Chain A
Amino acid sequence: MQIIESQKTYDVIIVGSGAGGGMATKVLADAGLKVAIMEAGPFFDPANPEQRTQLKWPYESPRRGAGTQRDFGEFDAAYGGWNIEGEPYNNIGDTKFDWFRSRMLGGRTNHWGRISLRFGPNDFKAKDRDGLGDNWPIGYEDLKPYYDKVDKLIGVFGSNEKRYNDPDGFFLPAPKPRLHELYYIKGAKKSNVDVIPSRLSILTKRINNDRGVCFFCGQCNRSCSVYADFSSGSCLIFPAQKNGGQVDLFLNSMVSEVTIDEHGKANGVKYINKEDRQQYALKSKIVVLAASACSSARILLNSKSEKYPNGLGNSSGLIGKYLHDSTGTDRAIFVPELMNRKRYNEDGVGGLHVYSPWWLDNKKLDFPRGYHIEVWGGLGMPGYGTGFNPNDLNKHLGLTVGGYGNGLREDVKKFYGSVLGMSGRGESIARKENYCEIDPTTVDEFGIPVLRFNYSWSDFERKQAKHMHQTFEEIGHNMGGIVLGDAPEKDKDYGLLNPGRIIHEVGTTRMGSDPKTSVVNEFERLHDVDNVFVVDAGPFVSQADKNPTWTILALAWRTSDFIIEELKKQNL
């Protein structure tokens, strides 16, 4: 069977339509380049009534929103999850890495938490402070102009706080704290933990006439039908098309490898069309990978040739190495004062209105890197699980647990909105020993060799998680709450979730000046092949105690500007 080759040659093929791919599309198409976007899933537009889940009630579904088909509940806007039928991955030995993929236009940006934090000056030079990991070849000053532009183009609410390592930006106004968040603030202040308005890419104020303004349904994870939150499709790709950009979407198209010409330069990609299950080839002058850190690593490692026997761009042998995710652990607090609450609409924006950025100095602690705290709770929409263990909390009040009859109605109403929670999200150390690689024993249903992972936490992360729980307990007590459950002990890694669970995986094609110790240069260009770029989170040297998306966007914009400049100079 022959590979079906297209006659058309694009300026750029962009593999993946999430944050990095969307930003590259916007910048490169606006500059007049002919762009092909390769997306492994279907078209998605949250404004399309057929795909919309926003404002749906649980009783509109036979499973009342349960997470049996989609991991974050069936109204969540991610087509995919930790496990995708026909697209397996493996783990080495007893190590565990859980890989979340979303197969749809816009990728994981359709459902993400919208927490949009800039990295600070310290985050790019962490090795200077503690000797661990590596410094980035760039600093905050290199990325600041791009963070500024991203703020203005996409919109993010927050507040300027003059905190050195949590840089200020161009923020939309913050939403006022909810009641449980006021309790959190009270507890945190008593514990000397800083709290500031959260920073989320949700439009609390209009930024242009193409996108709507937030109407406070609290459902950003369902992707907003008026485009008031940041999703890559609605905020970058559609505007690029609307702006007259030459953008062709290749949907349900699973890229298997980057192809090269006789000089060893990239000249396009091979992909499987998931609908007819045929292999196709597409040509371009430049290839931009934005398939997610692990998927881009997989594509490069599978792009083997005589010239590049270990995979494209892999002369260092480091593709897939230094994989790291944010650390995470959570705790719930029961606040008796929040029982029998007065009811009002407290949906707010989709996510937290306040958070605690890292507030301590690691030099005085027994773990090297920081974490931030996210807060959850409130009078949210009932869903599958509401009413489970309806009166377990009675044990804290000296009342009976269990039973049946109409007293249960009163129990559910009494406790509704009385539990809040804290989630610590921290920085792990990038280590060469944590990696993904091609598993020669397994292919996916398209015949493409899959990844296997090897990832373990170290004491750096375990001690940090232990500290998180100590902090949660202190804040919980100081807000007048009862901390639920016991602090997880060492045998449970102090409650650390499996790597991959926070879905901030980065580092697999890391950036550096030395081709021996890094995969891409500071412009996210492969050291080995000068017309291939990686604009997802693969190039991250370290992931900071922040969330990666805003940095993916800023880097992708900077790289796209670089590509345009190089084209102008005819260097590409």
Chain B
Amino acid sequence: MDRRESLKSMILGSMAVGLTLESCVTETPPEVIEDKIWKYTYGRTPKEAAFDEELLLDQFFEDQELQTIKTLANLILPPNEQGTIEQAGVVEFIEFMAKDVPEFQVKIRGGLMWINNYCKTHYQAAFVNCTEVQQKELLDKMAFPDMEAEVQVQEIQFFSLMRNLVLTGYFTSEVGIKELDYKGNMPNVWDGVPQDVLDDHGMSYDAEWLAKCMDPNTRGDIAQWDDEGNLIS
């Protein structure tokens, strides 16, 4: 099973857990069910889950097109020690989005065809079989928008779309989020911007403002007020 297939079955498997949940509710301890769901699924209505399953079972791009997308994606964001296109599941993501956003279909399929036509004319080979020098020679014609133009030509539009999908696919993946160094999405107590950051930006908290703010030490105490609305707990 290739990576794409295994990803597909992983997602489908996780959905099956969600869908068959009711039948196992009586036999499985709730915390076990919760663990499974926590790891693999998120809240979907049955209709949404069925729609996603349909998209995941369907395949839009031909294998050869997927290969071209993969080559292109690796040129847009070459692998480095932080993460790769493959680790981020970028090709699978683009395959999914082409089914989820039908307007992408002709744009991407046509764009891939256009670059292959170009390569066959100029280099007598399909894009994936060109040398990296040739591939980059072509990308140099597509990757820089004309800042004066009101509407970009097709190949520039196509490349922008691919660049957007590749980058968003990468930076919403586990490796990409780690590389971006996003620190949140976990329980914590917000107690303001760290002092060194405030210092770097020449900012400080105003004392009068701070007096209105939460004290992390008493936030577990049940709130009580006097008649004037002053918090007294």
Q: Is A389 an interface residue (CB 8 A)?
A: yes
Residue pair B145, A347 in contact (C-beta under 8 Å): no
Q: Which of A139-170 contact B (CB under 8 A)?
A: 152, 155, 157, 159-160, 168-170
Q: Which of A57, A74, A152, A173 touches B213 (beta carbons < 8 Å)?
A: A173
Smallest CB separation, B77 vs chain A (Å):
6
Q: Is B196 an interface residue (CB 8 A)?
A: yes
Contacts of A74 in B (CB 8 A): 48
Stretch of A211-219, A481-489, A518-526, A546-554 lying at the B interface: A211-219
Residue pair A79, B45 in contact (C-beta under 8 Å): yes
Q: Which of B171, B179, B193, B231 touches A176 (beta carbons < 8 Å)?
A: B193
Q: Which of A394-447 contact B (CB under 8 A)?
A: 395, 400-406, 408-409, 412-413, 416
Residue pair A169, B179 in contact (C-beta under 8 Å): no
Q: State the CA gap A560–B209 with chains docked (Å).
A: 38
Interface residue tally on A, bucketed by range: 35 or more
Nearest B-chain residue to A56, judged by Cβ: B42
Q: State the CA gap A348–B191 with chains docked (Å).
A: 9
Residue pair A218, B184 in contact (C-beta under 8 Å): yes
Q: Is A93 an interface residue (CB 8 A)?
A: no
Residue pair A217, B185 in contact (C-beta under 8 Å): yes
Smallest CB separation, B103 vs chain A (Å):
11
Q: State the CA gap A157–B231 with chains docked (Å).
A: 11
Contacts of B100 in A (CB 8 A): 62-63, 66, 68
Residue pair B221, A404 in contact (C-beta under 8 Å): no
Residue pair B179, A404 in contact (C-beta under 8 Å): no
Smallest CB separation, B228 vs chain A (Å):
8
Stretch of A124-132, A379-387, A456-464 lying at the B interface: A379-387
Contacts of A389 in B (CB 8 A): 160, 164
Q: Is A60 an interface residue (CB 8 A)?
A: yes
Q: State the CA gap A112–B57 with chains docked (Å).
A: 34
Nearest B-chain residue to A381, judged by Cβ: B185
Contacts of B205 in A (CB 8 A): 176-177, 182
Q: Which of A49, A52, A157, A170 touches B225 (beta carbons < 8 Å)?
A: A170
User: 1/0 per position for A180-219, CB-CB distance to B under 8 A?
Assistant: 0011001000000000010000001111110001011110
Q: Is B16 an interface residue (CB 8 A)?
A: no
Nearest A-chain residue to B52, judged by Cβ: A62
Q: Which of A204, A345, A412 touches B188 (beta carbons < 8 Å)?
A: A345
Q: Which of B163, B176, B230 touches A160 (beta carbons < 8 Å)?
A: B230
Smallest CB separation, B198 vs chain A (Å):
8
Contacts of A56 in B (CB 8 A): 42
Smallest CB separation, A329 vs chain B (Å):
24
Q: Is B29 an interface residue (CB 8 A)?
A: no
Contacts of B230 in A (CB 8 A): 160
Q: Which of A171, A379, A387 touches B168 (beta carbons < 8 Å)?
A: A387
Q: Is B33 an interface residue (CB 8 A)?
A: yes
Residue pair B43, A50 in contact (C-beta under 8 Å): yes
Nearest B-chain residue to A222, judged by Cβ: B43
Knowing A173-B215, A179-B197, A408-B77, the reply to whether A57 touches B186 (Cβ < 8 A) is no
Choose among A75, A157, A381, A387 the residue with the greatest number of B CB atoms under 10 Å from its CB: A387
Smallest CB separation, B138 vs chain A (Å):
11
Residue pair A50, B214 in contact (C-beta under 8 Å): no
Stretch of B62-70, B89-97, B118-126 lying at the A interface: B89-97
Q: Is B223 an interface residue (CB 8 A)?
A: yes
Smallest CB separation, B192 vs chain A (Å):
4
Nearest A-chain residue to B144, judged by Cβ: A402
Residue pair A402, B179 in contact (C-beta under 8 Å): no
Contacts of B108 in A (CB 8 A): none
Residue pair B183, A345 in contact (C-beta under 8 Å): yes
Knowing A175-B213, A175-B214, the reply to whether A57 touches B147 (Cβ < 8 A) is no
Q: Is B58 an interface residue (CB 8 A)?
A: no
Q: State the CA gap A431–B78 with chains docked (Å).
A: 58
Residue pair A412, B171 in contact (C-beta under 8 Å): yes
Residue pair A347, B42 in contact (C-beta under 8 Å): no
Residue pair A343, B214 in contact (C-beta under 8 Å): no
Q: Is A501 an interface residue (CB 8 A)?
A: no
Q: State the CA gap A172–B218 with chains docked (Å).
A: 11
Q: State the CA gap A170–B196 with chains docked (Å).
A: 34
Q: Is B115 an interface residue (CB 8 A)?
A: no
Residue pair B18, A176 in contact (C-beta under 8 Å): no
User: 1/0 per position for A369-395, CB-CB distance to B under 8 A?
Assistant: 000000000011111111111100001
Q: Is A53 an interface residue (CB 8 A)?
A: yes
Knowing A173-B231, A204-B214, the reply to whether A50 touches B18 (Cβ < 8 A) is yes
Contacts of B5 in A (CB 8 A): none
Q: State the CA gap A346–B185 with chains docked (Å).
A: 10
Q: Is B37 an interface residue (CB 8 A)?
A: yes
Smallest CB separation, B148 vs chain A (Å):
12
Q: Is B55 an interface residue (CB 8 A)?
A: yes
Q: State the CA gap A495–B179 with chains docked (Å).
A: 36
Contacts of B191 in A (CB 8 A): 176
Contacts of B212 in A (CB 8 A): 159, 173-174, 197
Knowing A205-B223, A384-B172, A388-B168, the reply to whether A171 touches B231 (Cβ < 8 A) is yes
Contacts of A248 in B (CB 8 A): none
Residue pair A345, B184 in contact (C-beta under 8 Å): yes
Q: Is A514 an interface residue (CB 8 A)?
A: no
Residue pair B219, A213 in contact (C-beta under 8 Å): yes
Knowing A345-B186, A382-B180, A412-B171, the reply to whether A171 touches B201 (Cβ < 8 A) is no
Nearest A-chain residue to B204, judged by Cβ: A182
Q: Which of B172, B179, B190 touches A383 (beta carbons < 8 Å)?
A: B172
Q: State the CA gap A25–B47 with chains docked (Å).
A: 29
Residue pair A173, B214 in contact (C-beta under 8 Å): yes
23 of the cross-chain contacts (CB-CB < 8 Å) are: A50-B18, A55-B186, A57-B177, A62-B100, A64-B172, A155-B223, A173-B213, A174-B214, A177-B193, A177-B205, A178-B193, A182-B201, A197-B213, A215-B188, A343-B181, A346-B184, A382-B177, A382-B182, A385-B168, A388-B167, A404-B75, A404-B163, A412-B171
8 extra interface residue pairs, beta carbon distance < 8 Å, beyond A216-B187, A344-B193: A59-B89, A179-B198, A215-B187, A215-B188, A347-B188, A386-B167, A388-B168, A402-B144
Q: Across chains A and B, which 8 residue pairs bring their CB atoms closest together, nearest first?
A: A387-B167, A176-B192, A215-B187, A347-B184, A58-B172, A159-B212, A173-B214, A402-B144
Spell out A's residues near B (CB within 8 Å): 42, 48-53, 55-66, 68-69, 74-75, 77, 79, 152, 155, 157, 159-160, 168-179, 182-183, 186, 197, 204-209, 213, 215-218, 337, 341-349, 379-390, 395, 400-406, 408-409, 412-413, 416
